[in-house]
Amino acid sequence: MFSAYADMLWHADHGALMRFLCESNMKRHKRRRKELLALCDVINEDDGIPPHELKERHANARQVNRKARQLCQQVAETLSLVLSGEFDDEQLQSLLVASVEPAPNASQLLVSLQTDGPCDRQLAEQLLTKLNGISGRLRCEVAAAITRKRAPRLMFRVIG
């Protein structure tokens, strides 16, 4: 194999060299697939990937999830403080932040709020209207409290 490669380099035929390299790579790929099929019943997407690369992928995913959880916790604390003290509206002051979750990622957060007392559909709609009206101010408060390039968008849900 080396002599054929050296012979092509000697003649400096670039096209023949490229064809040789492509053909040998395709043969190697087919041979590797056959070897993998011989060793297992089904080929999965992570077959053939070195274990250290799999560990790095999982570590990066854990890091992203940890950062998202940390952001959600910071946003929940900030919104709790702002809603309890910044507004004169008693309905807004009675809201408790139940949870903050990424929806679908950390650029947009779903804030679940809970009322002190019973909550019917009409009250929930009133609260959502008020929250959507002050969402810009809430987002500014969140932006001031967190260290991010962009403040996440806030979506609200009232649970009874």
Domain locations in the chain? 2-39, 51-159
Task: Give the separation between CA 76 and CA 109, rounded to whole angstroms.
Answer: 10
Confidence grade of residue 117 (pLDDT, cut at 50, 70, 90): confident
| pTM of this structure | 0.60
Q: Is the pLDDT of residue 18 over 80?
A: no
Residue range 113-137: mean pLDDT, rounded: 90
Q: What is the pLDDT of residue 66?
A: 85
Residue 99: predicted pLDDT: 93
**How far is residue 83's CA from residue 9's CA, in Å, rounded to a whole number?**
74
The pLDDT tens digits of the residues spanning 38-66 come to 666 666 666 666 766 666 666 666 666 88
One DSSP character per residue, the chain reads -HHHHHHHHHHT-HHHHHHHHHHHHHHHHHHHHHHHHHH-SS--TTTTS-HHHHHHHHHHHHHHHHHHHHHHHHHHHHHHHHHHHS---HHHHT-EEEEEEESSSTTEEEEEEE-SS---HHHHHHHHHHHHHSHHHHHHHHHHHS--SSPPEEEEEEE-
The yes-or-no verdict on residue 115 having pLDDT over 60 is yes
Angstrom distance (rounded) from CA 33 to CA 27: 10
Class of domain 51-159 as given by CATH: alpha beta
